[in-house]
Amino acid sequence: MSTAPADAIAFARPWFDEAEAEAAAAAVRSGWVVGGPQLEAFEAEFARICGVRHAIGMSSWTTGAFLVLHCLGIGPGDEVVVPSLTFIATANVAVHVGARPIFADVANDTTWNVDPGDAAARITERTRALLPVDQLGLPCDIDAFRALADTHGLTLIDDAACALGSRNRGRPVGSLAPISVFSLHARKVVTTGEGGVVTTDDDALAERLRRLRNQGMSASAFERRDAGAAQAPSFPEVGFNFRMTDVQAAIGRVQLGKLDTIVERRRAIAERYLAYLANHPVLAAPRVPEGMETNWQSFQIAVRDDAPVGRDAVVEGLAARGVPARIGVMAAHREAPYRDRAPLLPATERAADRALQLPMHPGITESQSTRVVEALDAVTRPLVSAGG
């Protein structure tokens, strides 16, 4: 049966309306399209939501995390422990500063979060930082990583790219590690198209990140607007252009105002999926440990080990029924840049081979989520009868 395009299910989609378009237009009309008041206000709102002193807007997660590693002086000869089961950017930033990403395995369950015990086993005298990921929005066991970092004298950086609005025992992600880095890419719960944010309580680090994102300039254009024309900025060290624009920040402010609604709507869709998946013979549901609240940035499931069907066949079966599923999180260590030194990561490989993601965004209607569940059932039910 073909689906009318008007009611086609999108796999992911930003939760925009006229308010974002108006905010972007207002920033353009104001003339302050970069380094202006919108960025300052966005950063203050983001910091408040995360319960930290500083939020520093960047052009992406990648430039933000790179700049953090650069500020920490991490470089050639150093190692950074990262999960492999993540978007490859997590490993790439270590390479960008000349360091080595050292891959740790994930827990052998459907949290798909990096296992602190395995990460501990990867620490050597060259390790400088731990960069665990909040997988698809689900907070990782940051307290275990904090303890590891303290024991070994390492810096802990939370890859919170996907996790704005998630909580760990009531505490917002962004405040749980000394440094956290978020992405505002279009797939994230709150988006500015591209963009990133670093959060921290470290005043000196925040001040340096703000300078270095702006070519090392001592004061931004907005800060210098009332200074005399002859007031020249200074450039105490070599910087970069990693600025977030005011047009992005204006969109971001509207998005931050919707964060609670966005997360609530995602949670309602997740609950429908979870209700269907309970005790499913072919599919395993995502596990959310006690005390964790995820923002459901993505909804990942797995085809059970003993299922009489592979993951790709389930994805294709859903596509044939008008449901756009995708394969799950990648394993970075299997890609060309890292393949030659790939360690044994059995849980990561199993997840990368068996996980898939269902449509998840706040615009999914009740009838659409019903269609997703019905399609899952149509694809898997015959297998159960055949298998049994």
Residues forming the site for ligand PLP (CB under 6 A): 60-62, 86-87, 89-90, 133, 159, 161-162, 183, 185, 196
The two tokens of residue 303 are 């085809």
Angstrom distances, CA of residue 354 to CA of 97, 117, 239: 33, 23, 43
- When the beta carbons of 36 and 83 are compared against ligand PLP, the nearer one is 83
Closest approach of ligand PLP to the CB of residue 66, in Å? 9
Angle separating helix axes 61-71 and 89-96, nearest 10 degrees: 40
Q: For ligand PLP, which is the closer residue by CB, 102 or 217?
A: 102
- Please report how close the Cβ of residue 229 comes to ligand PLP at its closest, in angstroms: 37
Sheet holding 283-284, edge to edge: 283-284, 299-303, 355-358, 326-327
> Whole-number minimum distance, CB 300 to ligand PLP, in Å?
12
Tokens of 235: 């450039």
112: left (phi over 0), alpha (psi -120 to 50) or beta: left
Which neighbouring-strand residues pair with 158? 180
The CA distance from 280 to 141, in Å, is: 27
Catalytic residue among 70, 128, 187, 188: 188
Q: Is 188 a catalytic residue?
A: yes
CB 67 to ligand PLP: min, Å: 12
Least CB distance from residue 265 to ligand PLP, whole Å?
A: 20
Q: Which is nearest to 360 in space by CA: 100, 170, 138?
A: 138
Which residue lies nearer to ligand PLP by CB, 79 or 159?
159
| DSSP, res 335 | S
Residues 326, 272: Cα–Cα separation, whole Å = 19
Give CA–CA dist 185/380, Å, rounded: 33
User: Which of 123, 190 has the CB closer to ligand PLP?
Assistant: 190
Cα(5)–Cα(18) distance, integer angstroms: 23
Nearer to ligand PLP among residue 286 and residue 317 (C-beta): 286
By annotation, the residues acting in catalysis are 188
